[in-house]
A and B are shown apart, each in its own frame.
Chain A
Amino acid sequence: MRRYSAFAIAREAARHHLGWERAWRSPTPKPRYDAVIVGAGGHGLATAYYLGKNHGIRNVAVIEKGWLGGGNTGRNTTIIRSNYLQDPSAAIYEKARSLYETLSQDLNYNVMFSPRGVMMLAQTEHEIRGYQRTAHANALQGVATEFISPRRVKELCPIINIDGPRYPVLGALWQPRGGTARHDAVAWGYARACSDMGMDIIQQTEVTGVRREGGRVVGVDTTKGHIACDKLGIVVAGHSGVMAERAGFRLPIESVALQALVSEPIKPVMDVVVMANTVHGYMSQSDKGEMVIGGGADGFNNYTQRGSFHHVEETVRALIETFPIISRLKMLRWWGGIVDMTGDRSPIISKTPVEGVFVNCGWGTGGFKAIPGSGWAMAELMAKGHSPLADAFSLSRFREGRFIDESVAAGVAH
């Protein structure tokens, strides 16, 4: 692989840009791999990357039904933070956030990580207590956050109306090293690095069945034929239930639609990410100048990648009171993704009833921020059979009642 660098840009500029290589190969599948990952989104590609980088397992295929990074990886609002309440969550999300800090250098691919700071507004008395509790928990977990005053909120983000009659800003949980990254670049960077290690990324190929013998996996059936494997990682987010059924088990997951939208581009007006969980809205400004807005998930099972208009209306209505400046903005694009929700709003990184099959799912509305940590933990689990980061997120926690309850701590917006 030719490395990207300032020198490479100068070299290519001098020869009409004829020397750029394709970022990843599109090979035909081999008959057998040591490990097969289903799903070439951020989590699946990160899993493959750390399998190769940390554990030396490089005979790996990543099989993708659609195109690389075309599911929730390309549909989220790109927010990165780790200000969670529970210890296992803080550990894995902070691992992910810290890996994001150096991901561009690690992958030799600019993922445009921008630690611009994330603030979660407290707009009710209950939220003040909740976020103060989270700030205290984060202090013990080694996650740098603080609870800040409304005045400081106004200093950090002058376009906020802190005196709204219905949703006054009473404070905020502030994580200065949270921020955003370029979501597509995260998938592309991992894909390029995986391909460089000799892994096969096979797009436009659906896994239609999981072959088992004596309770363990021996391969997968795909639309391009049978592929044998020793280990299978299912990392398919919204379609986890569908894949689990093909592998012969069920998951504590329901799939619902989550929506986001962006405005027309405007000049820079805010350089932080603001989340308002009381009203289920969050907003940041992209480098192009678009206001990126996300809201709450729908309540009913849905696989269509489009959601209900009234949820968007609620989100925008509430955000307009907090950000009066956006009231005249035109919206450019509006889309939905299918998120896999667990009962405790925490992910599942686990072995399954089928030996050799591992699942990484249940990230629900907040998966993008976790991509490097999720891949790191999943790779360790697949390579070694257990992982300190992943063990608390096992499937057995539901039977044993060891929930990692982030639904109360985080509200709905992630």
Chain B
Amino acid sequence: MLVLTCPYCGVAACETELAPGGEAHLKRFGPGSSDEDFEAYLFLRPNVKGVHFERWRHAMGCGKWFLAARDTATLEVFGTYRAQTSAPPPEIVAAIQAKRPDWSLT
């Protein structure tokens, strides 16, 4: 069972306590953007097999959204962090690179 630690309340929450929310760090395109950008923002996903950043909500706990770095090919969790950021923090990137030396943030 997937266990993620909520960065707000510190609880190691199992999957039944959490609600998944899709890919994290999407760059938002709104009115005035091109059709291509808007489509990419709304629908197109890299759907990575490997290191994946994603949104989760501690639905049955504190109720807050947070972000997680996880490997979709192995179900390994690299870490969780607060949602008030537009890119993974350095310690998360370091934690991933410690286990995936070939991986880099693109």
Contacts of B75 in A (CB 8 A): 302, 304
* Secondary structure class of chain A's binding surface, majority of residues: mixed
Most chain B beta-carbon contacts within 10 A, residue among A240, A245, A299, A303: A303
Is the beta-carbon distance between B44 and A300 smaller than 8 angstroms? Answer: no
Docked complex: B2-60 residues within 8 A CB-CB of A = 2, 15-16, 19-20, 22-23, 35-36, 39-40, 42-49, 52, 54
How far is A242 from B15 in the complex, measured between Cα atoms in Å? 26
Stretch at the interface among A6-14, A118-126, A205-213, A246-254: A246-254
- Interface flags for B65-94 (1: CB within 8 Å of A; 0: not) read 000001011110000000000000000000
Instruction: Let me know if B45 and A299 touch, CB within 8 A.
Output: no
A250 lies within 8 A of B15 (CB): no
5 closest A-B pairs by CB: A241-B47, A252-B43, A299-B20, A300-B20, A250-B44
What are the residues of chain A within 8 A of B74 when measuring CB–CB?
304
Assess the B47–A308 pair: CB atoms within 8 A.
no
Besides A250-B45, A300-B2, 4 new A-B residue pairs in contact (Cβ under 8 A), listed by A number: A254-B22, A301-B72, A302-B72, A399-B35
In the complex, the answer to whether B1 meets A308 with C-beta atoms within 8 Å is: yes
Tell me the number of A-to-B contacts counted with CB atoms below 8 Å: 66
B50 and chain A: residue at smallest CB distance: A303
How many Å lie between the Cα of A343 and that of B44 in the bound state? 10
Query: Within the complex, which residue of B1, B40, B73 is in contact with A310, where a contact is CB–CB below 8 Å?
Result: B1
- Residue A133 interfacial (CB < 8 Å): no
Kindly state the separation between the CA atoms of A414 and B36 in the bound complex, as whole angstroms: 31
Q: Does A398 contact B (CB under 8 A)?
A: yes
Q: Is A83 an interface residue (CB 8 A)?
A: no
B50 to chain A, nearest CB (A): 9
User: Is the Cβ of B40 less than 8 Å from the Cβ of A308?
Assistant: no
Q: How far is the CA of A257 from the CA of B47 in the complex (A)?
A: 13
B45 touches A241 (CB 8 A): yes
Binding site for A on B (CB under 8 A): 1-2, 15-16, 19-20, 22-23, 35-36, 39-40, 42-49, 52, 54, 70, 72-75
Bitwise, A278-301 to B at CB < 8 A (1) or not (0) is 000000000000000000000111
Task: Offer 11 A-B interface pairs, CB within 8 angstroms, sorted by A.
Answer: A239-B49, A242-B49, A245-B46, A250-B45, A255-B49, A300-B70, A301-B23, A303-B49, A308-B2, A310-B1, A399-B36
A residues bordering B, Cβ < 8 Å?
A: 239-242, 245, 250-255, 299-304, 308-310, 343, 398-399
The answer, among A299, A301, A309, A399, for a CB contact under 8 Å with B47, is A301
Give the nearest-CB partner of B55 in chain A: A300
Q: How far is the CA of A301 from the CA of B70 in the complex (A)?
A: 9
Cβ-neighbour of B15 out of A253, A308, A398 (below 8 A) = A308
Measured between beta carbons, the chain A residues less than 8 angstroms from B54 are 300-301
Q: How far is the CA of A302 from the CA of B20 in the complex (A)?
A: 12
Structural contact, A251 and B47, CB atoms closer than 8 A: yes
* B residues less than 8 Å from A253 (CB atoms): 45, 47
**Smallest CB–CB gap between A329 and chain B, Å?**
24
Q: In the complex, what residues of A have CB within 8 A of residue B40's CB?
A: 250
Find chain A residues with CB under 8 A from B23 CB: 254, 301
* B47 to chain A: closest residue by CB: A241
Q: How far is the CB of A68 from chain B (nearest CB, A)?
A: 22
Q: List B contacts of A299 (CB < 8 A).
A: 19-20
Shortest C-beta distance, B42 to chain A (Å), equals 7
A329–B6 CA distance with the chains assembled, in angstroms: 38
Q: A251-B47, A303-B49 are in contact. Are A398 and B73 (CB under 8 A)?
A: no
Contacts of A239 in B (CB 8 A): 49
Given contacts A300-B54, A308-B15, A310-B15, contact A252 B45 (CB under 8 A): yes
Bound Cα distance A362, B47 (Å): 13
| A344 closest partner in B (C-beta) | B43
A252, B45: Cα distance in complex, Å: 6
Q: Nearest Cβ in chain B — how far from A208, in angstroms? A: 13
- Decide if B52 touches A301 in the complex (CB within 8 Å): yes
Q: Which residues of B contact A398 (CB under 8 A)?
A: 39, 42-44
A21 to chain B, nearest CB (A): 38
Please state if A241 and B46 are interface contacts (CB–CB under 8 Å).
Answer: yes
| Residues of B contacting A308 in the complex (Cβ-Cβ under 8 angstroms) | 1-2, 15
On whether the beta carbons of A309 and B22 are closer than 8 Å, the reply is no
